[in-house]
Chains A and B, each alone.
Chain A
Amino acid sequence: MTLSLLLSSILLLPADTAILKTHDIDEVVVVSTGRQGAKRSIKGQVASIDEHLAELDHVNLIRRGSYAWEPVVNNMATERISTTIDGMKIFFACTDKMDPVTSYVESGNLQSISLNSGLNGNPQSTGNIGGSLDLKLRKVGFQPLSFEGEKNSIFHTNVSAGHEFNGHLQVYGADASYSSYGFYSNFGVFFRKAENYKTGGGEELNFSQFQKVNAFANLGVRLAERDILEGTIIFDRATDVGYPALNMDVAKAQGLITSLSFKHNFQESFLTSWETKAYYNHIIHVMDDTKRPDVEIHMDMPGDSWTTGLYSLLTGSNGTHDASLNYDLYYNRSFADMTMYPGGAAPMYMVTWPDVGTLNSGLALSDVISFPHNQSLNVSAKFAFQQQKLNNEEGYNALKVFFPGMKQDYYQTTGRVALSYAWRPEHWKLTFGTGWGSRAPTVTEAYGYYLNNTFDQYDYIGNPRLKNESAVEVNASAKWTKGRFSIGADANAFFFKNYIIGTFESRLSPMTVDAEGVKVYANVKSAKIVNVSLSSQWQALKWLKWSGRASYAIGRDAEDDNLPLISPFSYTSSLDFTHGDFSAQATVQGYAAQTDFGAKYGETRTPAYAILNLSASYNIHASKSLISIRAGVENLLDKSYTTYSDWNGIPQKGRNIYVNVNWGF
């Protein structure tokens, strides 16, 4: 019964959200679709991508400033997760991880963000040990034929504006769409600007400002009744971005994302659809230290990342099977260099990413098999082969100093396979899953050159001789629902082999003045990461809901020492009041002290904290238009605090009052 309800509710959804029927997928909706029960940020559509990401279970964010937070899934950061935009591969261009790829889109571009926890990744993901994020673009889609068979068309316009008093953050967005049976287009612009914010207690945090503009357009043409051609273009540019946790800021972080896809929907066949998409994206990242006082040596550190690729996804279902087959191919080039200008003397130049060309192709298969008595089994597997070439001779020669005899070409094969079983007896939902997967070293891990990590104050050198890292995952969850109350627990554990992490090399001398030393990436024999969480909801009254969640994680290396950036015990508890078009929320959010910090990896203790947030929203319906007004206060008590994931312990925002309006007509 539950399953069929679930399935029927899915059939009502747009096609690109149908993936929800698979297991272990968490999703945050960026733009309201009128769907009930879906997660969304309390700040609504104008919330930043980072704030939307924070809504997802299993996700934490590493903050180096107030912009471009790095998503962490199951306590694994960029290296161990996959991030795709509508299935497109995209790679960041900053050697210091100042630009996770999620920073190159805006809320206005997206319909939703979905997360597949662990090894059961989306078809296009590779190297997703911790999980895979897919940012789903907001394509307005075609208008269906009316019951009378008439072709209608719809115009829709949406404008939004927001202001946050702490840091004087301004957000403005406008987009418009036209949708008919044979054609659709939606396009818009987004602007965001913030000054330095004040930490708890009222102190201004220098270099926490940023500014960003974003423009996008989507286009769809129905070539034939069941043949669809779709194109997307996104241009995103952030300028004057401060990074208070680092020694440098960013002058420009620019992304151009384009795609063209062809989709055929089958009828009266066990095949559902076949979509082939070709894409290209280019990211330019330029760091800037000219605004910092007391810079010992001025440096230029630009980075570039180009990716072009395609995927072809065939889906089908026959009642018991719900299967997909995906082939994907991409080519990425990552180049970064650094020029240092000592006063008067000759500039010093080095290539920090030696123009690494990566050609990767993979074949992925997934099937959800339904069994009687509300049971189902999800099987997914992917095999990928990749070739890498170091195109920059100077960078190659430099790295060869440390790895004599290294080659200019490398080959890797990676794969993953995951199984998940779900059973839904009355009142219960039980799942059990397991999987194995491997990932190739990242460009930084394999070929990075003297990349200073301000977290532990070491210079990092990549290691072209690294082996693939692999992990076995086991996960389980149980949820019990009765009436208006539900309680659930879920846990996953990852057991790594050849875990890749920097290890200290005493014989090497650091390049960065004041650095502690040099670390070279190495495979440590094993490591483990375990995540557990408990959550509960209680719809106490029609207008009052309580929900709570607590999580805990441990991460240990082969010597049983703590891994860095593993979340300490954390909890949230919120009360939701709803009355018609009015809703309000009070949330307490806190972390225990980080006592299991990775001292070996330069991490230090962070104290416990708890903050209180309040928010309210009101919807006004007028003829054909909807106005949503949201207001709230974060950190009501103006606590001064820092979390384990605040890079170098930069303090979080103090009390922040916000208000935003969204008007759709």
Chain B
Amino acid sequence: MKKLYYSLIFAAATLGFASCSSNDGDDIDLSGTGITITDDSECCSAEEALLVYKFILTVKHVPELSFEVDGKYKVNAYTKTGSFHTGYNDIYFIASKKSTDNYVKNFDVKNLTPIMNMVKMGTYHSTPVSSGVSTVEDLPDAIKHGWVSFVMNSGEKGTWAISYDAEVLSSTGSIKDQTITVNALPEGQEWIKSFKIGEQVYFISLVNPTSWKTGTNNIKAYVSRKNLESLTTPWGVASEEFTVEAVPTMPDMGNHTSPDNTSWTKQSDGSYSGVLNLTMTGLWRIHLTVKDKDGNVVAGGDDLSDGYSSLYLDVTI
């Protein structure tokens, strides 16, 4: 009996050591991942590799945008669903060495360019895109992130293609005009809208509408400017500083609204953020009034017959 007791203490002590020493990377179990850890300083440590591997499990592979560089590296692209939809889409890029399947510690993705071919009109245009592709806070540097907000879905009117360049260590490669499918959003969802200020055209894209719930939501959005000089050059984030007032209403409930919503203001990373209160699930119409730096209404804010701005986004939660 006493023997068992001692051995239990011993087991507990060794377990304690094991968990303390896990930072050294020796005990990280990568079996089943296909990743081989070597002394290669260009690649991730076991700990980083596991983080990246776990991250990949939360997203879906996009084969159309994945390719090999120099026969040595694989560049893989991922989105939340493995496909694209109208409005804002996060895209993640991860490069790995073919020899070990371990992730490359650092690499670059450049010139992410979506182009729509308006088949019937014979014209081409781009769409709002992130300012560059970069690392993400709290994730290993091996994961690169960019976004594309599609102004419309693929269909009879036109098709979408994406190009980008990858620089992996000393090698470079690129994907050129790879056709992708942009799905339409279901009814009751409009996550991107345009507005005009003078001759300029802007787009407002909601980043996180799928995470909205009944209650208080921290919303994130981008305002991008259409590149009128060159329609096929990606449309970057607008440099102007706007304030966006948002009034959520439920058109099916006599325009029921919620209190204490805050204006969307520009953050240091270029995105807009504010608080939106949603009192129940269902279709919410987010009526927008865009103001410039001096507080002048520059878009929306007109009162329709129902008393709300005609510039709006729809989110069904």
Contacts and interface: CB of A to CB of B under 8 A. Distances in A.
Contact of A398 (B256, B259, B279, B316): B279
Interface string A389-408: 00000100110111010000
Nearest to B215: A397
A450 interface: yes
Interface in A502-533: 507-511, 513-514
Contacts of A398: 214-215, 279-280
Contacts, number: 81
Contacts of B188: 345-346
Interface string B259-274: 1100000000000000
B259 A346 contact: no
A509 B277 CA distance: 13
A51 B138 CA distance: 69
Interface of A: 297, 340, 342, 345-351, 394, 397-398, 400-402, 404, 450, 507-511, 513-514
A348 B216 contact: no
Interface stretch (B96-104, B121-129, B168-176, B247-255): B247-255
Contacts of A349: 214, 280-282
Contact of B259 (A350, A401, A511): A401
A148 to B, nearest CB: 68
Is chain B's binding surface mostly helix, strand, loop or mixed?
A: loop
Given A345-B188, A398-B214, A510 B256 contact: yes
Nearest to B188: A346
A346 B258 contact: no
Nearest to A513: B254
A345 B213 contact: no
Contact of B252 (A345, A404, A508, A510): A345
Contacts of A450: 279-280
B135 interface: no
B309 interface: no
Given A346-B188, A450-B279, A514-B254, A394 B214 contact: yes
12 contacts: A297-B252, A346-B281, A348-B281, A394-B213, A401-B277, A404-B260, A509-B255, A509-B256, A510-B254, A511-B279, A513-B253, A513-B254
Given A345-B188, A348-B280, A397 B213 contact: yes
B133 interface: no
Interface of B: 187-188, 213-216, 250, 252-260, 277-283, 316
Given A402-B259, A514-B254, A347 B281 contact: yes
A401 B215 contact: yes
A347 B257 CA distance: 17
Contacts of B279: 350, 398, 401, 450, 511
A531 B140 CA distance: 74
B84 to A, nearest CB: 23
Contacts of A514: 254
Contacts of A342: 252-253, 282-283
Q: 6 closest Cβ contacts across the A-B interface?
A: A397-B215, A348-B282, A342-B252, A350-B280, A513-B254, A401-B277
A394 B252 CA distance: 21
A110 to B, nearest CB: 41
Contacts of A400: 215-216
Contacts of A351: 214
A264 B94 CA distance: 77
A629 B254 CA distance: 56
Contacts of B214: 349-351, 394, 397-398
A345 B186 CA distance: 11
Q: Which of B253, B280, B281, B282 has the most CB of A within 10 A?
A: B280
B259 A348 contact: no
Given A345-B188, A397-B213, 16 more contacts: A297-B253, A342-B252, A345-B252, A348-B252, A348-B282, A349-B280, A350-B280, A394-B213, A397-B215, A400-B215, A401-B216, A401-B277, A402-B259, A511-B256, A511-B279, A513-B253
